[in-house]
Structure 1
Amino acid sequence: MKYFLTLSILLALVASVCEADNVVAPAARRFTDPASQDVPDFQKHVVPLLGRLGCNSAKCHGSFQGQGDLRLSLFGFDFASDHRSLNGEASSETGTRLSVQHPERSLILRKPTAQVDHEGGKRFAPGSWEHQLLIRWIEAGAKGPPRPTVAQEPPADISAADRKFFRGSVQPILEDHCFECHGFGASKGNFSLSTKAALLQGGDSGPAVVPGKPEKSLLVKAVRYSDEHLQMPPSGKLPDQHIATLKQWIAKGVPWPAGSAAPQETGATLTRLEYEPAEILFHSAGQTQQLRVIAVWQDGTREDVTCLTRFQTNNDAVVQVDRDGKASSTGSGDTHIIARYDNGVAAIPVLRPYPVAAESPPAESPQPTVASPHPIDQRVNAKLAKLALTPSDICSDSEYLRRVSIDMTGTLPTPEEVSTFLKDSRPDKRRRKVDELLQRPEYAAWWTNKLCDFTGCNPQSIRSLLEVALEEGYVKASSWYDWIYARVQRNQPYDELVAEMMLADLADPGDGMPYFWTRQSLKEPKDTAMSVAHAFLGIQLQCAECHKHPFDRWTQSDFNDFGRFFDSVTETKRRSASPKDQQLRLLRSRNIQLQAGDDPRKPLVDWMRAPDNPWFARAFVNRVWAGYFHVGIVEPPDQFTPANPPSNPQLLDWLADGFVANGYDMKWLHRQIATSETYQRSWKPNATNRNDRRNFSRAVPRRIPAEILYDAMKQATAADDKQRDVRSNLKRRAIGHLSMRMAGTHAMKVFGKPDRSINCDCERVNEPTLLQAIFTQNDPLVRMRIADSGWIIDIEDAQEASQPLNTNSLIDQVWLRTVSRHPNQAERQRALQHLQQSNTMAEGITDLLWAMMNTKEFLLNH
């Protein structure tokens, strides 16, 4: 009997640990086992369960106003606040939220089991593992997160009433709205709430409070938002009752009980999420795979958290996943399942090869005969092999010339250029053409235009110290464009270009470009932080200003830390003599110590340019790749998040590493992409890759960007002797200086040119619309362009002078000017018939030109 009892105790002790891999058993098993004495942890188990049930979502108790009389932090990232809310008094007459004395009477159990009315409906059944987890937690005292460690001060001589007032009314306000910036070890503006003495000392702006005099206290002034330069908290003005409480506290003399300092961060810290299997490979519809998610904590503990994880598919046409992590194959392709637990996000790859249609003729499914030695092709082809995707054939010479000319230089090739290229028999003529295009001013012009998109060069937003007319905005925007153009043209390393832009100073007569900093949209350091993160790191920080986004890594603390780098950047004649914070923290990286007179932007730029920066080089190469393929390896290109992983990580790594190793050489990057077989593939699909749009097995036709299309219409209608001038006169090109003055015009809006007013690559729209078709067919601008065509006028003049006209040559010119190829026999025959039926040759050619400018082949890059 003694042996059996001992054995039972040992089995109970190890029941929480999986023998095979030393992983703590899942909560669904641990807290339903009568032999287990484990108690659920509020952070590790209770809050994730509430998240899985949807309780802290934006549609329920996680909304700003809460639901009913209960408000939880959005997505459950404020454990202390959530614990206070759950322990608060409910206004309902049906019971209390938590009753340690009578756990089964707790509303947190009765409402989700539908024992009392619950607007959210039944979330779990009585006796389920969810029910048992919560009831075991309540029976054990419903403990919250560990009490924070605080700096102790000598006992304060305050009354019991004042102590209760501070603990119950003042401290919750400070914890919810102030500790993010001035607690947990943070001291924004050199202001800390670590002790009462620190509170009285204040920060850069002076003492925060004057005991007994709330109207003279900066704290009251800040929370009232009465001064546009001093508004706290930055996430929004406090409710009036909170402001009244703080005033009452200051009027009382700022009673501060011993041990009430701002906490230092404590509690469990999640290191990472691991998952099994590392990759899911399906072979047929209906196949299933159970996922397993393991949380690895800072203390080394590993726990199976599958039952507490929230799962979501990035593409339900490829895979679906249920709440328990069971994945089911629904179609061919590749995607990711996103697993979320605590502040961790994991992306689990899912692949299912595409089937080859048995009835397809072999010609439609060509197999590559020789493996390409190009590093890009090797990485792309490796992914295609896993998906059983056969890449399309290499495109024709005319298709390649038009495609690369548009993508690299924003310009159609001239008819003469097309003819010369088609006659060239050298095997390396495509590589030679790439080298030639990279030397043209149009290359620098178009990619300067792209950089202006990312960095926000907007004539209407650039301002000086005084209000200025829009004309000055045009002048400054053009200067901005010229500044970037000069560096792209001479192929200045990208990291140096960014460094000069980031460190520019209006007071410095050097070669910097200060207008990036003088935009109206950058009124606050937080605005600059979001702009810099978007432009140079390919990440979005907007959500983190108010809360941690469930699919991203950034917290409010990360957002505030990053914003402090720009606190000292002011639009004055002289930069601040010293940074406002002596210690700054880089995004998920190290702390930076600053001295008086230091420019905090300098260490930030050094960190961005470092070879091991995880975003800087990747963001740029991904945007350039998207410029050639209309889809990024990370798509959208400015959404580098754990929940949006690259479609081909090996490809992105190679491009980024090579870009850095080659000294951030932009032309090296363009050359590598444009000379790869991947870029040269035809748009024509085969039996396997018809539905593939993310693995680069074929070219995907995409509409020509607004500026290029505007210029292309000018090129197509220009007189023969004006073709080169139209192409090279950048002051009259929409991809050049004209771009600034055309911003906001009807033509540019119709075809999706961005205003450059928001931090989002999505502002440029390249999708075709019905309005665009109406524009190209009927808009006066298009009709005027054709009616006043220098080429058509030359034909009319030749007719009036009775000069002979070569009909076939004119037909060739129509096709060469618009779609950069010769017409096929059927097209030539139809064109000849139309010209024979026209009143004059000029009229017939005008009709053909208009018709070709309205074809998909002209409007799309393929």
Structure 2
Amino acid sequence: MQTVFQHCCLLIWIACCVAIATAPTFAADQAVSFELDIQPILTAQACNSGACHGKQRGQNGFQLSLLGFDPEFDHAAVSRDARGRRIFPASPENSLLLLKATAELPHGGGRKLERGSDDYQTLVQWIRQGAPRRVDGEPTLVKVTLERDSFSLTPSQAESLKVTAHYSDDSTRDVTRLATYLSNDDAVVSVDATGVIQAGSLPGETAVMARYMNHIEVANVVIPQTEPLPPAVFESLPRNGFIDELVYEKLQTLGIEPSPSVEDHVFLRRVSLDLIGRLPTVEETRAFLDGSESETPAQRRAKLVDQLLERPEFADHWAVFWADLLRPNPYRVGIKAVMNYDNWIRQQFRDEVPYDTFVRQLVTAKGSTWQNGAATLYRDRRSPDEVATMVSQLFLGIRLDCAKCHHHPFERWSQQDFYQFAAYFSKVGYKGTGLSPPISGGEEVVFTSSKGTVSHPLTGETMTPTPLFEIAEVEGDDPVAENHGDPTDPRDALAKWMTSTDNDFFAQVHVNRTWGILMGRGLVEPVDDLRTTNPATNPKLLSALANDFQASGYDFKHLLKTITLSQVYLHSSEPTASNVADRLNYSRHYRRRLRAEVLADAVADVTQTTESFQAMPPDSRANQVWTTRVNSIFLDTFGRPNENQDPPCERTPDSTVTQALHLMNSQQLDTRVRSDKGRAAELAASEKSPEQIVDELYLAIFTRYPTTDERDYAVELVTSAENRRSVIEDLMWAMLNSPEFSILN
């Protein structure tokens, strides 16, 4: 045993001598910092990525914080964990950390470093110095910058990014080779590990992220059309306001010609379904299409929008969008609570409550869930961290989920930010029976408690309610001050900060969500993910819409009117040779399938039949259904959220084979088409001529008159039929199964 020990000591002594003999010479005062020099290497080599040692329990017994968000933890993991076996200061080159990284010992991640490389030498020097956590006078990393943050490239052109790190002592470093890069769309522009961006072969635009130690910068890259359009193309376009000016400015830069404006019948169908979720009646369509010659087209469109915004269907239609975002599972929080919640949401739209008031009432809600529907938000989300993620996503467009466990990989939000924000909900108290799924039928009262804290999960520190960023208007607020012995609700300060006109996120996420609903795609996608690394396709337009919305007093109808009366909203969905590849800049209208409730109500209106819904009064419409627990195969087939899905619910807008098969084969739909009390039976029994019958079918289903060929063909079918009703029913069935009915152009 003694001989073996002596032999091992001899080998170590020899290794040390060899290491000393071959070690590079460093300046004596060249101290190496773990946080400034070593962690960037681990990050650049993806050692602390989610696929490697940064995963929740690490990899093969070695764990690092994800993307280096916790330097203290990482230093301990490298230098002290596993009895310090990963480093060997007596012979740094023989440290396990380096032998694995150079693949001289088996390593699942393969070779990460080459012996003699700059990164290798830095690690050797750090280990030789005793692997210190910090060095004397060590500055902190303040920010990173890009030498250029915008590029206009030709197809297949390459350019290089240059990343500079800035420190608290005013020093800088070129960290281009240690930064990591990601393109939002590799098909348009790719980027390699060295920061070289490569344009694709087709025109387009995207953003490229550069990240260095949790600091992020973004470069916007545009590949315009190779053939620029003459200025006269855009000079001749009509403009109805700032939306048109900003969209056409961007299109001119890209060399994309917009599609022409739609005809009146397309606008009528589009704006009716968008604003009230209902098809125009035959009489309404005739009146608009055959309107007074004393009015200009623009005047008739403005008049129509004003009328639609005052229709009772408006409130139910828009309440459904917010029900998706807010409405919980009734078997979790109680059926009565969900019904009150749904009624509260709908009443806000009926009363035309300004958006900022609507949000303040939700965020600060208290009282009985049987009397104040808004309080149901807190019956469903019961812990501060759950409420924080929902509120920040819905009303600020900031997704904080990642920061709950670690520094957000694509944003500036840290764990500290998350739990300070969650602390605003620390004093939400409850009285009542609580939850008891799958029944949960009891009443619960939400109130402001005098107790309640949120602690940081790593440090144990008690968090003070703190906004995610400072704005001038709310500086000096004390969210935890006492008022005459009664606890002050921190949520009041939060609501004030959120709805301040100085908080750009608040207005921007709402106008972006609304724009996405009306235009088929948000200026930012997903619509509630506003971050530096996910920039708007038209930042000027997003800012202008938000400012206009704020100036209107957060008037939702004003926002809808501004968008629907723009020339951009009038664009045809038919692509041109110039804009066929455009998916981001609204040079044409983006087609989309009708939402489940809108399509169900359209079927009811066309067939002149009603559907009976459980737990609903007779003759109720689909967009009045207050819970997804109400059975409807049709609504489920066309994308209604699953009743067990947690809000906010995002619907899948894609058309599916199941939906097509349902329209073609549904016995329920066939019964409604062939109903003795339906439109087809009524037309067949009427004194109307075949021409009049065909016109009514087209006006009712497609919101337009038939073309000459369509009229001639359909009239011939009706005229020559032995059973007029059967032919009318077949025509109606065929038209209901056409894309023109279920797709909004």
- Structure-2-length-normalised TM-score: 0.85
Between 834-843 and 287-296, the greater mean CA deviation after superposition? 834-843
Indicate conservation of the 8 Å contact 1:405/1:411, yes or no: yes
1:542 aligned partner: 401
1:409-808 maps to which residues of 2 (within 5 A)?
409-424=276-291, 425=293, 426-427=295-296, 428-463=299-334, 473=335, 475-506=336-367, 513-519=374-380, 522-572=381-431, 573=445, 575-581=447-453, 583-589=464-470, 592-596=478-482, 597-718=487-608, 732-736=620-624, 738-740=625-627, 743=630, 745-755=632-642, 763-788=650-675, 790-798=678-686, 804-808=687-691
SS in 2 for 1:637: coil
Q: 1:812 aligns with which of 695, 716, 722?
A: 695
Indicate conservation of the 8 Å contact 2:275/2:317, yes or no: yes
Indicate conservation of the 8 Å contact 1:273/1:345, yes or no: yes
Indicate conservation of the 8 Å contact 2:250/2:538, yes or no: yes
Cα drift, residue 275 of structure 1: 1.0
Indicate the percent of aligned positions where both proteins have the same amino acid.
33
Indicate conservation of the 8 Å contact 2:420/2:465, yes or no: yes
Q: Deviations over 1:640-674 (max 9, x none)?
A: 22221111111111111111121111111111111
Cα drift, residue 271 of structure 1: 3.6
SS in 1 for 2:260: coil
**Change in 2 beyond 3 A, CA 1:295/1:576:** same
Indicate conservation of the 8 Å contact 1:74/1:547, yes or no: yes
Q: Deviations over 1:325-353 (max 9, x none)?
A: 00011131010001111121222101001
Number of matched pairs: 679
Tell me, yes or no, if structure 1 residue 116 matches structure 2 residue 105: yes
One-letter code aligned to 2:623: I
CA distance in 1, matches of 2:631, 2:58: 41
Indicate conservation of the 8 Å contact 1:79/1:145, yes or no: no
CA distance in 2, matches of 1:293, 1:744: 56
Tell me, yes or no, if structure 1 residue 318 matches structure 2 residue 188: yes
Cα drift, residue 371 of structure 1: 5.3
CA distance in 2, matches of 1:681, 1:840: 42
One-letter code aligned to 1:313: S
2:153 aligned partner: 282
**Change in 2 beyond 3 A, CA 1:820/1:304:** same
One-letter code aligned to 2:128: E
Tell me, yes or no, if structure 1 residue 86 matches structure 2 residue 78: yes
- Structure-1-length-normalised TM-score: 0.74
**Change in 2 beyond 3 A, CA 1:132/1:397:** same
Indicate conservation of the 8 Å contact 1:315/1:335, yes or no: yes
**Change in 2 beyond 3 A, CA 1:577/1:85:** closer
Cα drift, residue 837 of structure 1: 5.4
Q: 1:107 aligns with which of 89, 96, 102?
A: 96
Cα drift, residue 826 of structure 1: 2.0
CA distance in 1, matches of 2:319, 2:602: 18
SS in 2 for 1:615: helix
1:30-45 maps to which residues of 2 (within 5 A)?
38-45=30-37
Cα drift, residue 390 of structure 1: 0.8
1:327 aligned partner: 197
Indicate conservation of the 8 Å contact 2:43/2:67, yes or no: yes
CA distance in 2, matches of 1:326, 1:744: 54
Indicate conservation of the 8 Å contact 1:626/1:637, yes or no: yes
SS in 1 for 2:330: coil
Cα drift, residue 458 of structure 1: 4.5
CA distance in 1, matches of 2:390, 2:633: 27
SS in 2 for 1:849: helix
Indicate conservation of the 8 Å contact 1:633/1:648, yes or no: yes
Indicate conservation of the 8 Å contact 1:45/1:308, yes or no: no
Indicate conservation of the 8 Å contact 2:33/2:135, yes or no: no
CA distance in 2, matches of 1:707, 1:324: 50
Q: 1:144 aligns with which of 128, 133, 142?
A: 133
CA distance in 2, matches of 1:584, 1:385: 46
Indicate conservation of the 8 Å contact 1:366/1:390, yes or no: yes
Indicate conservation of the 8 Å contact 1:402/1:413, yes or no: yes
CA distance in 2, matches of 1:610, 1:817: 45
2:3 aligned partner: none
One-letter code aligned to 1:332: P
**Change in 2 beyond 3 A, CA 1:558/1:786:** same
1:353 aligned partner: 224
One-letter code aligned to 1:335: T
Between 587-596 and 702-711, the greater mean CA deviation after superposition? 587-596
CA distance in 2, matches of 1:844, 1:714: 20
**Change in 2 beyond 3 A, CA 1:670/1:67:** same
Q: 1:824 aligns with which of 698, 707, 712?
A: 707
CA distance in 2, matches of 1:613, 1:769: 40
CA distance in 2, matches of 1:496, 1:434: 24
CA distance in 2, matches of 1:556, 1:401: 49
CA distance in 2, matches of 1:554, 1:745: 42
Q: Deviations over 1:497-535 (max 9, x none)?
A: 11122222225999773222222xx13222111221222
Q: Deviations over 1:76-114 (max 9, x none)?
A: 1111111111113659xxx94212221111222221222
CA distance in 2, matches of 1:421, 1:711: 21
CA distance in 2, matches of 1:348, 1:277: 7
Q: Deviations over 1:732-768 (max 9, x none)?
A: 11112x2426656322221112247656666211110
CA distance in 2, matches of 1:368, 1:669: 26
1:390 aligned partner: 257
**Change in 2 beyond 3 A, CA 1:98/1:695:** same
**Change in 2 beyond 3 A, CA 1:732/1:758:** same
Q: Deviations over 1:743-794 (max 9, x none)?
A: 5632222111224765666621111011110111111221122122521221
Tell me, yes or no, if structure 1 residue 134 matches structure 2 residue 21: no
CA distance in 2, matches of 1:33, 1:630: 62
Q: 1:125 aligns with which of 105, 111, 114?
A: 114
Tell me, yes or no, if structure 1 residue 861 matches structure 2 residue 744: yes
CA distance in 2, matches of 1:759, 1:780: 32
Q: Deviations over 1:174-204 (max 9, x none)?
A: xxxxxxxxxxxxxxxxxxxxxxxxxxxxxxx
Cα drift, residue 456 of structure 1: 2.7
Q: Deviations over 1:684-725 (max 9, x none)?
A: 111111011111111011000011000000011117xx99xx
**Change in 2 beyond 3 A, CA 1:496/1:298:** farther
Indicate conservation of the 8 Å contact 2:328/2:647, yes or no: no
1:75 aligned partner: 67
CA distance in 2, matches of 1:506, 1:476: 12
1:261 aligned partner: none
**Change in 2 beyond 3 A, CA 1:142/1:289:** same
1:842-861 maps to which residues of 2 (within 5 A)?
842-861=725-744
**Change in 2 beyond 3 A, CA 1:301/1:89:** same
Between 757-766 and 488-497, the greater mean CA deviation after superposition? 757-766
CA distance in 2, matches of 1:762, 1:37: 58
One-letter code aligned to 1:483: W
SS in 1 for 2:208: strand
Q: 2:144 aligns with which of 268, 273, 278?
A: 273
2:7 aligned partner: none
One-letter code aligned to 2:181: F
